[in-house]
Amino acid sequence: QVQLQESGPGLVKPSETLSLTCTVSGGSISDSFWSWVRQPPGKGLEWIANIHYKGDTYYNPSLEGRVAISLDTSKSECSLKLGSVTAADTAVYFCVRLNRYGGGWSVFDNWGQGTLVTVSS
Amino acid sequence: QSALTQPASVSGSPGQSITISCTGTTSDIGAFYYVSWYQQQPGKAPQLILYDVTNRPSGVSHRFSGSRSGSTASLTISGLQTEDEADYFCCSYTSRSTFVFGPGTKVSVL
């Protein structure tokens, strides 16, 4: 069973860059797409980005220009960077495996526990 | 991209059936069979309960079923149980190779 563990600072100052890492264990990082999804306190889910081990990346248009997703296959890590943060970026950030169950790459089937990032001075 | 539309809350008595709708557009739900549903208990990460509109992952109760008509997908929970109280989110792949979630529906068992 693949396990995902997010890590990173819980507090980021406005205008700075949010940096998170997801460590993948119990499976190969080269099998799937890897994603970040966030959830502001008391609100719904927002898809942020996907990356495939071959390098294909996809971003939420509303965040494009501020966000970057990357993979380090040697460390089995997926990273997220979000620049110029504001209070609106305060959320629980989830690392998620995007899998393919016979059709397209469409199934978010394995979620990390999430990490709360607060943007505040 | 606009979020999908879901009712804020749905409630039912134990044993009843409830249905949660998820409305999108011809660029997401109406264009692809890639609609999934997630259950989220308080303080926990979401869990996959349906994928590709109608399919249940291994281990998910048969009481959960899905359908799609045009640009609207639906999740039905049959034989409602107290353990079904949770937030439910729909998600769709889009024509821009992105994903969009609904705002979530809170299910209450009366």
Q: Among candidates B103, B110, B20, B32, which has minimal Cα distance to B71?
A: B32
CA dist., res. B23 & res. B25, Å (int):
7
Alpha-carbon separation of residue A107 from A3, A11, A34, A43, A73 (angstroms): 16, 30, 11, 21, 21
Of A10, A18, A21, give the one whose Cα is nearest residue A76: A21
Chain A CB contacts of B100 under 8 Å are: 47
What length is written for chain B? 110
Report which of residues A101 and A44 the model is more confident about. A44
Task: Considering only the beta carbons, identify the residue of B45, B48, B103 that sits closest to A112.
Answer: B45
Smallest Cβ distance to A109: which of B34, B57, B101? B57
Q: Which among A92, A87, A95, A94 has a CA at the least distance from the CA of A119?
A: A87
Q: Residue A102: pLDDT band by 50, 70, 90 thresholds?
A: confident
B27 and A CB contact within 8 Å:
no
Interface test with B, best of A106, A110, A111 (most B CBs within 10 A): A106
Cα A121 from Cα A115, distance rounded (Å): 19
Neighbours of B62 (CB within 10 A): 8
Residue A16 — very low, low, confident or very high, per pLDDT cuts 50/70/90? very high
Rounded to an integer, the average pLDDT of B64-84 is 98
Record the tokens describing residue A86, joined without a space.
């504001």
Confidence grade of residue B43 (pLDDT, cut at 50, 70, 90): very high
**Please, what is the average pLDDT of chain A?**
95
Confidence (pLDDT) at A74: 92
pLDDT in tens, A34-85: 999 999 999 999 999 999 988 899 999 999 899 999 999 999 999 999 999 9
Q: Given this model, what pLDDT does residue B1 score?
A: 67
Decide if A58 touches B, using CB distance below 8 A: yes
Mean pLDDT of the B49-66 span: 97
- Pairing of the two strands A115-119 and A11-12: parallel
A22-31, A75-84, B45-54: lowest mean pLDDT where?
Answer: A22-31
Let me know the angle formed at the C-alpha of A102 by A101 and A106, rounded to the nearest 5 degrees: 50
Burial of A16: CB neighbours in 10 Å, binned 0-12, 13-18, 19+ = middle
What mean pLDDT is predicted for residues A22-36? 93
pLDDT for A31 equals 81
- Whether residues A101 and B46 touch (CB distance < 8 A) is answered with no
CA dihedral A97, A100, A101, A103 (to 10 degrees): 150
Over residues B4-32, the pLDDT tens digits come to 999 999 999 999 999 999 999 999 999 99
- Band of residue B92 on the pLDDT scale cut at 50, 70, 90: very high
| Ramachandran region, residue B14 (left: φ > 0; alpha: ψ -120 to 50; beta: rest) | beta
Helix, coil or strand: residue B82: helix
For chain B, what is the mean pLDDT?
Answer: 96
**Residue A87: exposed, middle, or buried by beta-carbon count in 10 A (0-12, 13-18, 19+)?**
exposed
Dihedral in degrees, nearest 10, Cα atoms A61, B75, A96, B52: -80
Give the whole-angstrom CA distance, residue B102 versus residue B7: 9
